[in-house]
Structure formats: structure tokens, C-alpha cells
Amino acid sequence: MSAGDGAAVSAVEGKLAELSTSCDLRTLPKRGKSASARTLNTAQIQLVASHPEVYEPCDDSFALVDALLSDKAQLLTLQPSLCMEVGCGSGYVITSLAIMLRQLGSGTQYLATDINQHAVETTQATLEAHGVHADVIATDIVSGLEKRLAGMVDVVVVNPPYVPTPEEEIGMKGIASSWAGGLNGRQVIDRILPAVRELLSEKGCLYMIALEDNDPLGICHLMNEKGFASRVLLKRCTDEESLYVLKFWQDAAAGANASQSGRSPRAESWLSQLPFKSFWHKNTGSS
């Protein structure tokens, strides 16, 4: 590890230590839908669709949206062409992101994925209720999209299945797919990270929730080894868990040494390249 890389990791370590001693439970919302007292800059809870087999907006959802709001100026400066959520659930986060960046107009497009068909339909309903658009695809993480979107996504947001569970719970149907993270809650996260790294553009950034049990510092070390700088945007403590919102982006120095060969050039219209009829399951009649 170079001196520069060491300094970056040390900065993250310092931030994690600082946050671990400065968490004030009194300032945090209670778990459940009543937790959200958001402004017109985010999705409105009363307009968020629901389904018994879909994870509802909760403390982690609110933490991720709050972190995005805190970084809104940077997101607007970035002027992303394509934003993506992996694991969209109810659609609260991707809808909030689209509302935050609405002033960018039609130059920004949105894409969301979820392995849960009910989540795909719920997200679509939430988007429509707010008058914003995203293409919503039923797939496992980004399966089937890797080559078509390689190097094209400017913003990725992820609230992954991070709860430590027995390995056999991974891949279960329905709502369990939204939380079952396997050993240390890392088994799905460790599949998501390399997939997302391939999708991110040179200016792209990843916003991801991590539980303290997931070893957020270890995640930052792992991403640093792959040429990504990191920052802790937010830590939120609840009665049950400590949540971190981590931001990753390509480090200029590391990026100079990384080969960019094999990356797809940004297309004028990424949408025209995707066989959505093969992946997008909307109103399929499944129950």
C-alpha cells in the first residue's frame, strides 16, 4: 500500500472512530414508517407503495436517503447520466434520488433492480405515485446487465442484505431476500461490490449501507485495494444496530495505474442497448 493509500485508509479509520463515540440516540427516528419526516426533496412515505413480501422504508432506508441529501451538491455537480439502485425494495430510495436530481431534467436516467418480483412491482407503483420514471428490472443484483452497462453508471445506491444469518437463508424468496446476508452479513455484499465496480464510470460513485457487524473498515480496505477512495458520510445508531453510509469513488492516482481496457464506451443512449423485454417484468400477472 502506498503512502497515499495509507493516508486515505487512516482517514476512514479516524472517521469511524469519531462516529463511534458521537452517536446520539436521542436524535434518531424510531423504526417504522413514522420515522420519516422528510421534505419535498425526497419520496413521501404516504405515497410509497407496500406489499407483505417487500421491505418497507426503515431506519437504514432513511439513513441512506439522508446521506444522499447531505451529498446533494456533489451529486448535482457530478451531473450523472445514469443512476442505479441495486435492491430497490419499495422504491423509496431510487424515487428520492430522482426527486433530488429532478432539476437535471431528462439528461439523467434511472434504473433499479431487485430479485424480488413483488419489489419490482412495488417500486414501479412508488415511482408512478411521485410522477418520476425509472426502468425497473427483476434480476439478481445486475445479472444480464454487466457487459451492456460496464463503465456507464455514474451513481449506484445500495441498501444490501446485511444482516448476519445462516448461509442457507441466502437466496430465499420474498422479503427474506432483503435482509439475509449470510456469514457476518457479508456474503451478498461481497457479490455486489465487484459487480458494481465494473458498472461505475470513471467519475462514478457508490453509496452503500453497512452494518457494524459487516466490518465497514474492512470493506473500505477492500475497495481501496481496487483503486477506490472512501468516505463515511453518516453513522446512525438505533436500539438494534449501528449503521454506516459509505461512499466510494475511483481514486485518481490508483485509476492511472488500473487498466481501463475492455470497458464499454458511454453510448449516446444506453437505453437502446438493453433488451428490456427480456428482463423487465411489469404487470406480468404473477401474485
pLDDT class of 255 with cuts at 50, 70, 90: very low
CATH number of the structural domain 54-252: 3.40.50.150
Report the phi/psi class of residue 193: left, alpha or beta, with left for phi > 0 and alpha for psi in -120 to 50: alpha
Distance from C-alpha of 142 to C-alpha of 87, rounded to nearest angstrom: 9
Q: Tell me which residue has cell 444506453.
A: 270
Predicted local confidence at residue 266, as pLDDT: 40
Q: What is the pLDDT of residue 267?
A: 37
Is the pTM higher than 0.75? The answer reads: yes
Size of the chain in residues: 287
Q: How many CB atoms lie under 10 A from the CB of residue 167? A: 11
Please calculate the CA angle 6-8-9 and round it to the nearest 5 degrees.
65
Helix (H) or strand (E) holding 117: helix 117-130
pLDDT, residue 254, reads 53
Whether 23 has a pLDDT exceeding 60, the answer reads no
Q: Which has more confidence, 262 or 192?
A: 192
Mean pLDDT of the chain: 80
pLDDT band at 212 (very low <50, low <70, confident <90, very high): very high
Q: Residue 200: beta bridge partners? A: 153
Per DSSP, 57 falls in state P
Query: Can you give the pLDDT at residue 83?
Result: 98
Residue 282 has pLDDT above 90, yes or no: no
